[in-house]
């Protein structure tokens, strides 16, 4: 990397500043019904060894046949990462022994992956955007699962996951902080979810990250890296980067040197530790899988898939800014999830878009977060929220009452129009009624009238009194105009 | 009616059963009896007489109801590399101890679909690695051909002992060739990775064809070297092998290397004229130290084909001599990976160890025989870091060159190529390869090019050696033009006269 | 190229095959015999030649994304030397 270090990203050690350099290998489980090379189900859970065909169990003479949907999903993802799609790619065997690797090799792509270089635009904060390069994306098989805590002497092996399709997305070492690392994975997950190529569910292991961390003095060549395996939440990714960087800095500042090794992040202890089992030098003996032929397709195949792609978050964000006049940050928040963006657009269409954005981001998202709900499980539909926005725009209800109305719709449901009508929440715009209230208050408070004439800011007190008398339903603008008129200010 | 039902050819038996001259049950019983009497040869590692009789009865019922298939009621032997559902399968390796596959290989399922009857599983070199059937966990197979100068008594005595001195039936499909030559089955399935169908056929006076790569499904056949392995039959006549191949061949969506092309009725090609066919004679097969009788056999073959109206053309396949060494890189490399699944976890043998790694190491040390361990190690070495390009990649480049040699010959209008099948007649059990593995590997020198190029190759008896042992000629064809091979081989078979197989002495 | 005894041991471990000390010299000899046999390939001119990746000129066939063919945990584990509650069991793996 030749780019200059950003001072704001540097961290202080005992002997000066350090720059963190992070690259990531994301393993994303492809959304498909069946596995990459067998027709077994990919669904999560299931009794041990129930989602296993003879191919997954690597019985003698069993052969792999590739699932076309997995190929398409990899191409779609490549397109979503603005990456080069390789019209010819090759499947290789990565040979090693492990009980949950039934073939004794993993089918992967080593020399000729299906997707080449691309990039991800990452919003680190409201004011900072970085571009993280993608080196490659390749298809590979997941391993099975070994349980080590069932017995003191034995490990238990379940092959349900064995052979499920993964995309390994390898980034360039373009990430410079824990915050950037989190933002990169968040953005990548957003893209995958938009594309529908991976559900991004980290709890179920659909998205796992191997995080490569090294540190260096600003401007110096890359340091020795350690690979932190299988980090399974975005929060942990951030923590792992931080603690690993600090561990490395402490060692170097102590005069030691970093050993290139594989480590594991322990979220309970907040530390990384060496994985002894992986210490042994690996020699994977990659070679093209002779049970498979090179995977080949033409540009028309890619074009057809490109046609079917949804609008992606970056494009959508740009459109929200241009079409709805939203501030970039708000637009960014709205496009984080495709469902949120769709919801927003349903509310905003034909309405005041900025008001719609405010309501979605501040009221709806705030409330959803508080209650641990998502857009999909929101008690308030886009149509209901749209009606609330309509009622405000038409001056039928005040902004303050609108929040009460939102509360009612949230907890009780119903048509906001009907609720406003039935519960008398309508704003009073009838000047006669307002005038009556104004007159009464002026008559009852002659000394305040005198004060107001000398000090026009007293107007607010009168407005408050009128609103109180009208139960908050008086149109504040009409109240203002009448008071000014009658008080002669 | 023939007195000994095992002396029928497959075609004769088919016609006799179809016309109800004999029943499948009678035919099957005759073969079961023959197998029992021939246990000394060690050709069968598992006999399935009950299954055979059930299948034969079902065949007779289908014949009676007029729903017979093309192989209806014909008893066959199955190489132990093929999975047959519920029937013990071991690839003749200790490491698959006790394994009962819950599945049926595509090729055998097609044989049963067509009505064939299964007699049992045939001996073979362990995981098909060998050229003499001496690497089997079940011990060597003896050829029904007696060594020169041996009488029956000496032969029988040797069968009861360690079989030393008796002739090998070739390998790896030695159980198949021995059983077919000894009339223990009408025909047998076999597999060929570097010559494992053609060399045993040549050693036993039988006919074997390795079809074009992709012609037969590999699904359900334990893999040795995936890019080279092909299934094929061993039978007693060219016609019989054509009948067998028609049932064994065909597209299988479960094998990504299977080719989706219609399967012709190969039998129709048997007897077709070869007039005007261009037969290539590659000068590179005239190797140093080739016995004069092999040279003479080859020349005789040329004369027969010329007499039948074929045009004989001298050709050059310049990379021929690189094929065998390149094969001994590619095949072990693939094998080292293909055999990684035999790890003591999901099936077969497990030898305990203090931890997972020693369990693997103990299981694989005890479970694999010496030749298999050796090949796994060579394969592991040539794929390992620092050696991959020098060995494996280079060998695959050479493979491209070998294939190109053939393509150029075919572009010049060559229809088929005639060569000797083996550099010698059968040798004795215990005679070769005990100190230098390469000595044994040289057996495949004429056959291995065909696997490297993915072409069809057929071995047909051409005559006997001076000491009275069978010698085979090899025909190499264009991809998916097995029919030409059957036509040309039939001319040789007719000209040479059907070889007279040994009478039972065992 | 030839292998020394340390390489023989390394390769054997990589292939997960136990070798006894007394086997090593013999194995070394055999492996070197094979390696010297294939040595002649280094003399072949392969410049500009593509390594073969498939012997038949066809593209990889693609399968439909359909679920079928679960063998059932009973069948999957029936042949296993160690199994419990439909899991395969192996000597404990330490991570």
Rounded CA-CA distance A213/A144 in Å is: 27
Among chain C residues, the shortest Cα distance to A156 is held by C89
Query: How much of chain A, in percent, has pLDDT values that exceed 90?
Result: 75
Which chain C positions have a beta carbon within 8 Å of A146's beta carbon? 93
Contact A285 B380 (CB under 8 A): yes
Written as six digits, the tokens of A75 are 């191409």
Written as six digits, the tokens of A185 are 């994975």
Average pLDDT over chain B reads 97
Instruction: With a cut of 80, say whether residue A431 has pLDDT above it.
Output: no
CA B401 to centroid of chain Cα atoms: 26
Nearest to B506 by CA among B168, B201, B154, B235: B154
Average pLDDT over chain C reads 94
Query: How much of chain B, in percent, has pLDDT values that exceed 90?
Result: 96
CA distance C85 to chain A (A): 8
| Comparison of pLDDT for A45 and B410, the residue scoring more | B410
Written as six digits, the tokens of B257 are 């290397």
Q: Which strands, in side-by-side order, build the sheet including B311-315?
A: B44-47, B117-122, B75-79, B187-192, B230-235, B207-210, B457-464, B470-477, B416-420, B278-282, B311-315
The sign of the CA dihedral A354, A359, A362, A365 is negative
Could you tell me the pLDDT band of residue A477, with boundaries at 50, 70 and 90? confident
A147 touches chain B (CB under 8 A): no
Could you tell me the pLDDT band of residue A280, with boundaries at 50, 70 and 90? low
Decide if C77 is inside a domain: no
Secondary structure (3-state) at A154: strand
The closest CB to that of B105, out of A61, A66, A105, belongs to A61
Q: What pLDDT score was predicted for residue A282?
A: 81
On whether the CB atoms of residues B399 and B329 are closer than 8 A, the answer is no
Among chain B residues, the shortest Cα distance to C2 is held by B381
Written as six digits, the tokens of A457 are 């800011």
Written as six digits, the tokens of B415 are 């229809």
B196 is catalytic: yes
Among chain A residues, the shortest Cα distance to C67 is held by A39
Which of A49, A54, A57, A63 to mutate against chain B (most B CBs within 10 Å)? Answer: A63
CB burial class (10 A; 0-12, 13-18, 19+) of residue B313?
A: middle
Q: What pLDDT score was predicted for residue A278?
A: 53
Instruction: With a cut of 70, say whether residue B182 has pLDDT above it.
Output: yes
Which chain B positions have a beta carbon within 8 Å of A62's beta carbon? 219-220
Q: Which residue has the tokens 């190491």?
A: B361
Rounded CA-CA distance A361/A337 in Å is: 12
Rounded CA-CA distance A375/B365 in Å is: 59
Query: How much of chain A, in percent, has pLDDT values that exceed 70?
Result: 98
Among chain C residues, the shortest Cα distance to A152 is held by C92
Rounded CA-CA distance C55/C43 in Å is: 23
Q: What pLDDT score was predicted for residue B1?
A: 44
The closest CB to that of B214, out of C30, C49, C56, belongs to C56
Secondary structure (3-state) at A21: strand
Alpha-carbon distances, residue B224 vs A403, B188, B487 (angstroms)? 73, 19, 31
Which chain B positions have a beta carbon within 8 Å of C88's beta carbon? 345-346
The whole domain housing C12 covers 5-38
Could you tell me the pLDDT band of residue C95, with boundaries at 50, 70 and 90? low
pLDDT digits (tens, 9 = 90+) for A365-422: 999 999 999 999 999 999 999 999 999 998 888 888 899 899 999 999 999 999 988 8
pLDDT digits (tens, 9 = 90+) for B134-153: 999 999 999 999 999 999 99
Rounded CA-CA distance C49/B400 in Å is: 7
Secondary structure (3-state) at A41: strand
Could you tell me the pLDDT band of residue A460, with boundaries at 50, 70 and 90? confident
| Beta pairing, strands B416-420 & B470-477 | antiparallel
Which of B253, B256, B327 to mutate against chain A (most A CBs within 10 Å)? Answer: B256
pLDDT digits (tens, 9 = 90+) for A98-155: 999 999 999 999 999 999 999 999 989 888 999 999 999 999 999 999 999 989 999 9
Rounded to two decimals, the ipTM of the complex is 0.97
Dihedrals φ, ψ of A417, to 5°?
-60, -45
| Phi-psi domain of B14 (left: phi exceeds 0; alpha: psi -120 through 50; beta: other) | alpha
Could you tell me the pLDDT band of residue B67, with boundaries at 50, 70 and 90? very high
Q: What pLDDT score was predicted for residue A2?
A: 46
Instruction: With a cut of 90, say whether residue B392 has pLDDT above it.
Output: yes
pLDDT digits (tens, 9 = 90+) for C3-17: 999 999 999 999 999
Written as six digits, the tokens of A297 are 């397709």
Nearest to A417 by CA among A442, A446, A444, A384: A384
Query: How much of chain B, in percent, has pLDDT values that exceed 70?
Result: 99
On whether the CB atoms of residues B374 and B437 are closer than 8 A, the answer is yes
Rounded CA-CA distance B236/B498 in Å is: 9
Q: Name the least confident of A457-461, B42-46, B389-393.
A: A457-461
- Domain definitions of chain A by residue range: 10-304, 311-422, 431-487
The sign of the CA dihedral B483, B484, B488, B491 is positive
Q: What pLDDT score was predicted for residue C2?
A: 87
| Beta pairing, strands A16-29 & A207-216 | antiparallel
Rounded CA-CA distance A146/A162 in Å is: 11
Among chain C residues, the shortest Cα distance to B318 is held by C44
Rounded CA-CA distance B395/B194 in Å is: 15
Dihedrals φ, ψ of B190, to 5°?
-150, 175
Chains that touch A (3 or more CB pairs under 8 A): B, C
Rounded CA-CA distance C71/A54 in Å is: 6
* Domains and their CATH numbers in chain B: 7-318+404-496 (3.90.1300.10)
| Comparison of pLDDT for B42 and A458, the residue scoring more | B42
pLDDT digits (tens, 9 = 90+) for B272-313: 999 999 999 999 999 888 899 999 999 999 999 999 999 999
* H or E stretch at A35: none
Contact A148 C95 (CB under 8 A): yes
Q: What pLDDT score was predicted for residue B336?
A: 98
Nearest to A332 by CA among A62, A125, A54, A101: A125
Which chain A positions have a beta carbon within 8 Å of C77's beta carbon? 49
| Phi-psi domain of B212 (left: phi exceeds 0; alpha: psi -120 through 50; beta: other) | beta
Contact B227 A293 (CB under 8 A): no
Alpha-carbon distances, residue B362 vs B208, B424, C12, C88 (angstroms)? 38, 39, 11, 19
Average pLDDT over chain A reads 92
B79 is catalytic: yes
Helices B320-338 & C24-38, crossing angle to 10 degrees?
A: 140
Average pLDDT over residues A350-363: 94
Strand partners, B76: B118
Nearest to B225 by CA among B233, B235, B213: B213
Dihedrals φ, ψ of A409, to 5°?
-60, -40
Alpha helices in B198-345 (DSSP H): 198-204, 238-248, 292-307, 320-338
DSSP-derived secondary structure letter, B87: B
Written as six digits, the tokens of A283 are 């020699």
Length of chain A: 489
CA distance A80 to chain B (A): 29
pLDDT digits (tens, 9 = 90+) for B445-494: 999 999 999 999 999 999 999 999 999 999 999 999 999 999 999 999 99
Secondary structure (3-state) at B157: helix
Strand partners, A128: A125
CATH of A431-487, one of 1.10.1660.10, 1.10.12.10, 3.30.1360.70, 1.10.10.410: 1.10.10.410
Nearest to B211 by CA among B484, B402, B457: B457
Q: What pLDDT score was predicted for residue A276?
A: 64
On whether the CB atoms of residues B242 and B267 are closer than 8 A, the answer is yes
The closest CB to that of B220, out of A61, A64, A102, belongs to A61
Q: What pLDDT score was predicted for residue A127?
A: 85
Number of folded domains that form chain C: 1
Rounded CA-CA distance A451/B495 in Å is: 133
| Largest CA-CA distance found in chain C, in angstroms, rounded | 58
On whether the CB atoms of residues B475 and B457 are closer than 8 A, the answer is yes
Alpha-carbon distances, residue B51 vs B47, B116, B188, B461, C75 (angstroms)? 9, 12, 17, 33, 22
Decide if C60 is inside a domain: no
Average pLDDT over residues B206-215: 98
Rounded CA-CA distance B266/B263 in Å is: 8
């Amino acid at each position: 990397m030749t780019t200059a270090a950003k001072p704001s990203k540097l961290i202080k050690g005992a002997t000066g500043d350090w720059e963190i350099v992070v690259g990531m290998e994301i393993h994303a489980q492809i959304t498909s019904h069946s596995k990459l090379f067998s027709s077994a189900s990919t669904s999560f859970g299931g009794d041990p060894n129930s989602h296993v065909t003879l191919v997954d169990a690597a019985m003698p003479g069993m052969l792999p046949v590739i699932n076309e949907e997995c190929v398409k999903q990899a191409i779609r993802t490549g397109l979503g990462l603005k990456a080069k799609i390789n019209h010819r790619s090759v499947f290789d065997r990565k040979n090693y022994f492990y009980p949950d690797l039934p073939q004794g090799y993993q089918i992967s792509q080593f020399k000729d992956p299906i997707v080449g270089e691309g990039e991800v635009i990452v919003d680190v904060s409201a004011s900072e955007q970085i571009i993280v390069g993608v080196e490659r994306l390749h298809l590979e098989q997941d391993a099975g699962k070994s349980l080590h805590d069932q017995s003191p002497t034995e490990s238990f092996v379940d092959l349900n996951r064995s052979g499920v399709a993964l995309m390994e997305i390898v980034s360039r070492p373009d990430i410079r902080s824990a915050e950037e690392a989190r933002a990169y994975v968040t953005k990548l997950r957003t893209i995958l979810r938009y594309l529908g190529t991976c559900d991004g569910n980290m709890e179920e292991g659909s998205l796992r990250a191997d995080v490569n961390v090294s540190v260096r003095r600003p401007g110096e060549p890359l340091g020795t890296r350690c690979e932190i395996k299988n980090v399974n939440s975005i929060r942990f990714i951030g923590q792992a980067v931080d603690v690993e960087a600090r561990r490395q800095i402490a060692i170097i500042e102590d005069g030691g040197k970093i050993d290139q090794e594989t480590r594991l992040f322990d979220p309970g202890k907040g530390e990384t530790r060496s994985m002894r089992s992986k210490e042994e030098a690996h020699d994977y003996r990659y070679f093209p899988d002779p049970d498979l032929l090179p995977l080949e397709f033409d540009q028309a195949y890619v074009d057809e898939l490109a046609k079917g792609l949804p609008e992606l978050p970056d494009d959508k964000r740009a459109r929200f800014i241009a079409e709805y006049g939203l501030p970039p940050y708000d637009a960014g928040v709205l496009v984080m999830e495709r469902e949120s963006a769709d919801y927003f657009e349903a509310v905003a269409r034909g309405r005041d878009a900025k008001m719609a954005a405010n309501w979605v981001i501040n009221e709806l998202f705030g409330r959803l977060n508080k209650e641990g709900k998502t857009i999909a499980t929101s008690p308030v539909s886009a149509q209901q929220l749209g009606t609330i926005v309509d009622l405000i725009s038409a001056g039928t209800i005040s902004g303050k009452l609108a929040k009460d109305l939102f509360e009612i719709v949230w907890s009780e449901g119903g048509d906001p129009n009907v609720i406003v009508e039935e519960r008398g929440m309508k704003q009073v715009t009838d000047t006669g009624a307002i005038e009556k209230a104004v007159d009464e208050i002026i008559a009852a408070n002659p000394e305040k009238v005198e004060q107001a004439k000398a000090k026009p800011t007293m107007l607010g007190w009168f407005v408050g009194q009128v609103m109180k008398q009208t139960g908050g339903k008086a149109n504040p603008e009409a109240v203002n105009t009448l008071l000014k008129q009658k008080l002669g200010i | 009616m023939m007195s000994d039902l095992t002396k029928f050819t497959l075609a004769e038996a088919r016609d006799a059963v179809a016309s109800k001259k004999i029943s499948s049950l009678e035919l099957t019983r005759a073969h079961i009896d023959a197998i029992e009497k021939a246990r000394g040869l060690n050709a069968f590692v598992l006999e399935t007489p009950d299954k055979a009789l059930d299948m034969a009865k079902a065949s007779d019922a289908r014949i009676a109801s007029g729903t017979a298939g093309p192989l209806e009621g014909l008893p066959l032997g199955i190489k132990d590399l093929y999975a047959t559902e519920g029937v013990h399968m071991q690839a003749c390796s200790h490491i698959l101890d006790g394994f009962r596959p819950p599945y049926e290989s595509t090729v055998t399922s097609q044989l049963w679909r067509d009505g064939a009857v299964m007699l049992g599983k045939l001996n073979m070199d362990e995981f098909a690695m060998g050229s003499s059937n001496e690497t089997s966990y079940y011990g060597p197979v003896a050829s029904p051909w007696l060594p020169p100068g041996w009488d029956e008594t000496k032969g029988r005595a040797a069968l009861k002992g360690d079989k030393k001195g008796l002739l090998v039936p070739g390998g790896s499909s030695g159980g198949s060739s021995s059983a077919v030559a000894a009339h223990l089955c009408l025909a047998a399935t076999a597999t060929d990775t570097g010559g494992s169908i053609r060399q045993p056929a040549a050693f036993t006076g039988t006919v074997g064809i390795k079809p074009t790569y992709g012609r037969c499904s590999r699904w359900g056949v334990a893999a040795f070297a995936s890019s080279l392995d092909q299934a094929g039959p061993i039978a007693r006549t060219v016609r019989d092998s054509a009948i067998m191949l028609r049932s064994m061949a065909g597209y299988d969506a479960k094998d990504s290397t299977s080719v989706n092309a219609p399967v012709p009725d190969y039998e129709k090609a048997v007897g077709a004229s070869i007039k005007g066919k261009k037969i290539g004679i590659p000068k590179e097969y005239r190797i140093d130290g080739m016995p004069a009788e092999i040279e003479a056999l080859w020349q005789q073959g040329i004369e027969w084909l010329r007499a039948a109206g074929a045009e004989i053309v001298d050709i050059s396949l310049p990379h021929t001599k690189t094929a065998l060494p390149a094969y001994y890189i590619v095949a072990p490399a693939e094998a080292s990976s293909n055999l990684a699944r035999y790890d003591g976890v999901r099936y077969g043998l497990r030898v305990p160890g203090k931890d997972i790694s020693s369990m693997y190491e103990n299981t694989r040390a005890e479970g694999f025989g010496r030749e298999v361990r050796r090949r796994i190690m060579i394969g592991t070495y040539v794929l390992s870091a620092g050696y991959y390009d020098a060995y494996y990649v280079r060998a695959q480049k050479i493979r491209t060159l070998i294939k190109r040699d053939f393509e150029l010959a075919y572009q010049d209008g060559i229809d088929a190529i005639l060569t000797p099948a083996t550099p010698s007649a059968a040798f004795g059990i215990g005679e070769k390869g005990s100190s230098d593995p390469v000595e044994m590997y040289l057996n495949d020198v004429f056959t291995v090019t065909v696997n490297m190029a993915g072409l069809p190759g057929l071995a047909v008896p051409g005559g006997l050696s001076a000491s009275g042992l069978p010698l085979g000629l090899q025909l190499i064809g264009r991809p998916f033009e097995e029919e030409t091979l059957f036509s040309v081989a039939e001319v040789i078979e007719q000209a040479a006269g059907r070889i007279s197989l040994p009478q039972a002495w065992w | 190229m030839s292998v020394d005894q340390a390489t023989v041991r390394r390769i054997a471990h990589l292939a997960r095959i136990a070798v006894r000390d007394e086997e090593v010299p013999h194995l070394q000899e055999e492996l070197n015999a094979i390696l010297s046999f294939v040595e002649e390939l280094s003399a072949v001119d392969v410049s500009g030649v593509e390594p073969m990746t498939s012997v038949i000129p066809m593209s990889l066939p693609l399968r439909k994304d359909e679920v079928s063919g679960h063998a059932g945990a009973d069948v999957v584990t029936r042949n296993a030397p160690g199994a419990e509650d439909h899991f395969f069991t192996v000597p404990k793996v330490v991570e």
